[in-house]
Amino acid sequence: MNRGGRDRSNREAGICFEFQTKGQCTRNRCRFKHIKNGDSAKEPPKGKRPVRVQETPAQQEARKVYNEWMRLLGTRNDANDTNIMRRVWQGAFDILQAGDRDWIQQLPVDLDSDDDIRNGRQHLQAILDAHVQHGDHTTFITNCRYFLLTLTHNHLVSSLAVDSYVGSIYNFVSGVNGVRAVTFFDRLCKAVVQAQTNNYHGVAMDKMESTLQLMSTALKEMLRRERRARLQDKLPSLLDALDTTAVLFTPVTSALVNKRTSDMRAMIARANSMLAGGEKIQEATLTSSYPRNLVVPSCRHDNDKLDITEITIFPTREEILTDVEEFLPFTDYDQPHFLSDPRQRHIDTYFRLLRHDMFSDLKEALAGIIHMALRNGGALQDSKLSLRDIKANHYSQCVVSDVEFSDRQGLYASMTFLQPLSVQKKSARHQKTWWEDAGRFERGTLLSFLWQTQSVVQHMFLTCLERDLRQFTLEDETGEPFATVKVQLTTNDEANLRKLMEVSLTGKRGILLEFPRIRPATFTPILENLQAIQRLGQFPFHEWIIPECQEACLHTRVTQDVPPPLYARAANFSFPLNSIVREALSINPTDSYESEELLNKIENCTSLDRGQCHALVAALSRELAFIQGPPGTGKSYIGLQLVKVLLSVRKKAELGPILIVSYINHALDQFLEHLIKTDIREIIRIGSQSQSTLIQEHNLQHMGQEERKTNAENWLARDKYRDIDDHTRDARSILRNLRSFRRVADWSVLEAHLTTRYPKIQAQFPRVDEEGYELVGQYLFDSWRSTDNSGARSNRDAAQFEQASDLEHLLDKATRNVYSLSYGERQHLLYHWVRELHDEEVDGLFQIVHRAVDTKKQLANIHSEANLRVLQQAQVIGITTSGLASRITLLKKLRCKVIICEEGGEILEPHMVSALLPSVEHCIQIGDHQQLRPSVNNYDNLSLESRRGQLHQLDRSQFERLVVGEPGRPVMPVAQLNVQRRMRPEISTLIRETVYGKLTDHESTTKLPDVVGLRHNVYWLDHDNLECTPGFDARNMKSKSNDWEVMFVHALVRHVVRQGVYKSSDVAVLTPYTGQLQKLRAAMYSDFEIILSDRDREALEKDGFEADGQLSDKAEEDDDTSPRKASATDTQSHKRKPLRKKQLGELL
């Protein structure tokens, strides 16, 4: 796309971020404008209208309609001119309904205006001031209805490209602290009540009903955007009025309005609790009568916050070094917690537990290194530094060699470090090969840089931006081999930026730690989304996810009575089954899902068994549904049938795209492949981790490139690109100044600073002497800087003078006579001036970086608008839970009403909560909690299988928690699948007698052929060959392996494959130990293509093994029993003529 040229003649200077947000600026020389929020409305572009070179007749008509509407918008309007009012807002609604993308995006720009051509805000004010005239409720309600239809239209509120203009419109509607909006909605609500109770025939009942629904929608959207409006005193009474008015209409409208007012009350409660602060909460907790001492977050360090929305995702230095006990809440709701609201408590609990799982081991390891460095000052420079059990790669003699800024990457740094000892001995060519194969410094990997300044060990979290292998074979002036990698700060806050620039200026050396199995992109979006949910108080299905304690549940098992989805409660709504049955049949979601007659009809008309029929009906009849089944019972198949049925009502119920969510990429790809093979083609896969060739053409990245941008998007993008160019130019200028501070400060750098801050000192370096001769200031300054009038020089570091001298006294002395200072005092003063310059430049850099990040987000939203249009056309969207959280802004705009969760039993509860978009009305979880649980990093503290973890149970999925139930609380109903079609009876007996007592075999399993090449189909093998002693990889003492079993399995797989009968997907090898898994891969890699699941890859990386299947150099050198060596002779003949390539799948 053409980014446009530079046209800065009319561009305003930047606005001071600190002054804008805090109302004051602490900088003495600030280059930015001091304008507070709201003082300057953004100026929409004038005279810019979409122009298309070749317009279709429909586009020409759309232009004509828009121009006619613009003439109306240009007229003056007041609250009494109801005719113009109706034409303006009905015309706006018609434009949005017509669907022309260019004019849809132009409309909010024109509405958010007030100039000679457009009077958008004046028309907004007129409708907000309108009232019932002469008892004419019809006109008032009709005009307000068209206004609300416009204000809440999906094309308006879902646009990412012009969302800033839409936000400005809502800001105007809200008024100061929501007064204008609350007054308007209250007036309209009373008019609707009067019209309905007095039975005015001029207003149709359905129009009044839709007006009430639109009021609740618009009010909720306004509160979401305008935080101050949540504190409006009259807002609670308005919500009560909405609830009371909703009772006058149908149950569906009443339920819809009640749901929205409930969400709004949660927002209000949240806002009020934030306003009150933590004192009231803490006081209530401390007076609790619980026998256990409760640890409460109380600012014991700088990241110890009561409110999780104030917690920095990455641990701070104080947090890492603190000795205070971390607050880890219990998942048992009978245990104490400082939050009384169950929704807030739930989000708070899982945010803290997930964050602890991600960082607890890391914090402990970093604290150990910092304390060791404090005891031994040279520890950070030791290339042989022992990290004990820390799963990290470390690089010594690391220095921030440069800090740069680019238009694409923003602010980044170059980190130069000494090559590892094992690599230094290699030639340059072999060094490059080693780095290529090592898989280190992959993009997005978490890094940690530690360095020591005097008696303080500093620390920063970074992420790897990119590695250039040409920078991995360099030598410094001493001939030592160094490497360089580009990194970025994980958090661009002012404190981290200052530390980065400080260490860059001083050139301090330290140690760089790489944590190859920690990718912030996989968990930070989840944590940030939980913070956003807590901030807004929007928690779908909270009444089922957080069941209340009931006395009856103490004595018997009580099952929740879950109603149908909100969209399915409309009168005469039903799910037609014509997409999966051979005759006309439908499901009424309000009928009993236990109806034998209905189940018989479905079973007779489909290939579904009885359990699957029950699961189909139950899933469609409950807004939160669970389907559980052992292996081979058709869980994915029933999910496929559900998608077909839901697609048949997609338009009627305005479901939007159906969202398919899974924690694992492989499970998601498999489900989407099944859909594609059944001719459901309008599928989009979001994410780049798919390994399926069938899904490649359905990837959003591929499909989004084909979508044309609108004219509005093009000029908005060009404007943002110009802003980014400005940010880049200004940032690079500041960085050049900061680099100059590394050298000896010269007159060209200090003259302007002294002229502004210390003019009396600057005047003592004159350009003209007493006799009128011109002097060179540079010469005078250089002479003064190097001369010692006291006759003695100090070797102390200039920074030490900052502590030893009275700065004010020194400045006063210099003001009187700068030449009277001693050499040490001069060096001290020079250091102080450079520090002042440095701090001022860093202040400016922070503002630029902050604005650049904000601009790039806006630009990303503009580019995402095309993706949004593509997604809106899809029937089905597939995405992982972490992918969903990272694209939450985009997905919220889709307003999906249905989520189907595959392998729900393997998803951590915080991931599941994060996946529940605010618009969701129907959630179906399919899985089996009796198979694999979610995995956690901190087993000892957080797993329900450990003693301490019993209190927290982070690895207990929401699926398991709600289906199995909790003491004293009702359980969620679950549809059980019991007929398996995968295993022959000899195998299914093994799990039927141990786990699944009700599991039955489908008759087809008795007809499965015998395994070719083997005498029996099931074998039990007992042997006396001992396990290996630790030595293969001493990093993991828990993992087990057995070389004899590795060779036996390798030989058995080769034997089975040689029969020539089985496909690549027919053979699987299972092992419970990562050590054995790694050896199996090493032994068979020359004969087969090894395929691992996502979980197995994570397990290998977690236990310190290489994820790509290659053993580390050290491991192979140290271990004579390495499977690769042990099988070298055995496989040598096969390397020349390998067996036919096969895939080895890890199945569970």
How crowded is residue 293: how many other Cβ atoms within 10 Å of its Cβ? 8
Whole-number pLDDT of residue 26: 55
Six token digits for residue 210: 């839709």
How crowded is residue 1137: how many other Cβ atoms within 10 Å of its Cβ? 6
Whole-number pLDDT of residue 1133: 36
Mean pLDDT computed over 656-663: 95
pLDDT tens for 248-267 read: 999 999 999 999 999 999 99
pLDDT tens for 97-114 read: 998 888 999 999 999 988
pLDDT tens for 808-863 read: 889 999 999 988 988 888 888 888 888 888 899 999 999 999 999 999 999 999 99
Number of H helices, E strands in the chain: 44, 20
Nearest Cα neighbor of 271 from 528, 532, 535 is: 535
pLDDT at 378 over 70: yes
Summarize the chain as % helix, strand, coil (round to 5).
50, 10, 40
How crowded is residue 343: how many other Cβ atoms within 10 Å of its Cβ? 20
Residue written as token pair 């009305």: 921
pLDDT-wise least confident of 223-227, 588-592, 719-723 = 588-592
pLDDT tens for 936-991 read: 999 999 999 999 999 999 999 999 999 999 989 999 999 999 999 999 999 999 99
pTM of the shown model: 0.85
How crowded is residue 853: how many other Cβ atoms within 10 Å of its Cβ? 14
438: three-class secondary structure by DSSP = helix
Whole-number pLDDT of residue 770: 63
Mean pLDDT computed over 703-718: 87
Q: Round to whole Å and give the CA distance between 466 and 447.
A: 12
Q: Round to whole Å and give the CA distance between 366 and 449.
A: 10
pLDDT-wise least confident of 484-498, 672-686, 794-808, 976-990 = 794-808
pLDDT at 220 over 90: yes
pLDDT tens for 889-931 read: 999 999 999 999 999 999 999 999 999 999 999 999 999 999 8
Whole-number pLDDT of residue 40: 41
pLDDT tens for 1077-1133 read: 888 888 887 777 666 666 666 666 666 565 554 444 433 333 433 433 433 333 333
How crowded is residue 945: how many other Cβ atoms within 10 Å of its Cβ? 11
Q: Round to whole Å and give the CA distance between 919 and 895.
A: 5
Burial of 5 (0-12, 13-18, 19+ CB in 10 A): exposed
pLDDT at 593 over 50: yes
% of the chain residues with pLDDT over 70: 83
- What single-letter DSSP state applies at residue 173? H
Residue burial 353-372, b: 16+ Cβ < 10 Å; e: rest: bbbbbbbbbbbebbbebbee
Confidence of residue 775 (pLDDT cuts 50, 70, 90): low
Confidence of residue 330 (pLDDT cuts 50, 70, 90): very high
Fold of 392-516: Elongation Factor Tu (Ef-tu); domain 3 (2.40.30)
Query: With contact defined as beta carbons under 8 Å apart, do 1108 and 440 qualify?
Result: no
pLDDT-wise least confident of 153-157, 703-707, 723-727, 869-873 = 703-707
pLDDT tens for 66-90 read: 999 999 998 887 777 889 999 999 9
Confidence of residue 8 (pLDDT cuts 50, 70, 90): very low
